[in-house]
A and B are shown apart, each in its own frame.
Chain A
Amino acid sequence: ETGVTQTPRHLVMGMTNKKSLKCEQHLGHNAMYWYKQSAKKPLELMFVYSLEERVENNSVPSRFSPECPNSSHLFLHLHTLQPEDSALYLCASSQLLRDREAQYFGPGTRLLVL
């Protein structure tokens, strides 16, 4: 059982839709991450939030907009996506400033853009 949950687990959207992905961590961590997992490609980091402040944006197009209202919740707002954005979107969390920190992942949201 994972301490990081994601909803929805599956999402199909058109290119003109607006949708949001939600992530919640129950581990008391203070950092959260969005990753993209595409077929036959390594996981790609999208965003990092540390103490609710965005500290890294890995050249992600503006059609992806993250939001971190508190240390337990992370959103990824989607609008006017392209078919090539279809992928598995993974959320992770970790505890910064603690030695031997590892990231813990949620189950992901599988997104299909038509």
Chain B
Amino acid sequence: AQSVSQHNHHVILSEAASLELGCNYSYGGTVNLFWYVQYPGQHLQLLLKYFSGDPLVKGIKGFEAEFIKSKFSFNLRKPSVQWSDTAEYFCAVRGTGRRALTFGSGTRLQVQP
């Protein structure tokens, strides 16, 4: 079975602060990894994805994530957050050969102006 842990449930930052959201997964084989974002009142949007190759993945809006296989981690980072980054962030994993995603419980990010 595959599972995802997001240890930070609620993060509060000031604008221009750096961000790192943790994501750890459990799965015995090769995985695809995703970060989704859900802005207030909006639908889930794909932020970035990792399938293979360079473990440092760049996504939209200045976000990036690094896949560290030895740590089963896929942490999300942004050097300088903006108020508009206030949202809920979900990490998801899919084992190779599987169709469905398994999501973490989400991290609510609040950026204060």
Contacts and interface: CB of A to CB of B under 8 A. Distances in A.
Interface string B61-104: 00000000000000000000000000000100000000111111
Interface of A: 2, 4, 31, 33, 40-43, 45, 48, 50, 55-56, 58, 90, 96, 99-100, 102-108
Contact of A50 (B43, B99, B106): B99
Contacts of B4: 42
A55 B99 contact: yes
Interface string B43-57: 111100101000000
A105 B49 contact: no
A78 B93 CA distance: 29
A48 B100 contact: yes
Chain A contact residues, majority secondary structure: loop
Given A100-B49, A102-B49, A43 B43 contact: no
B99 A99 contact: no
B42 A102 contact: no
A104 B46 contact: yes
Given A2-B43, A90-B44, A107-B43, A48 B99 contact: yes
18 contacts: A2-B43, A4-B43, A31-B99, A40-B105, A41-B105, A42-B102, A45-B100, A45-B101, A48-B100, A50-B99, A56-B100, A58-B100, A90-B44, A96-B99, A100-B51, A102-B34, A104-B46, A107-B42
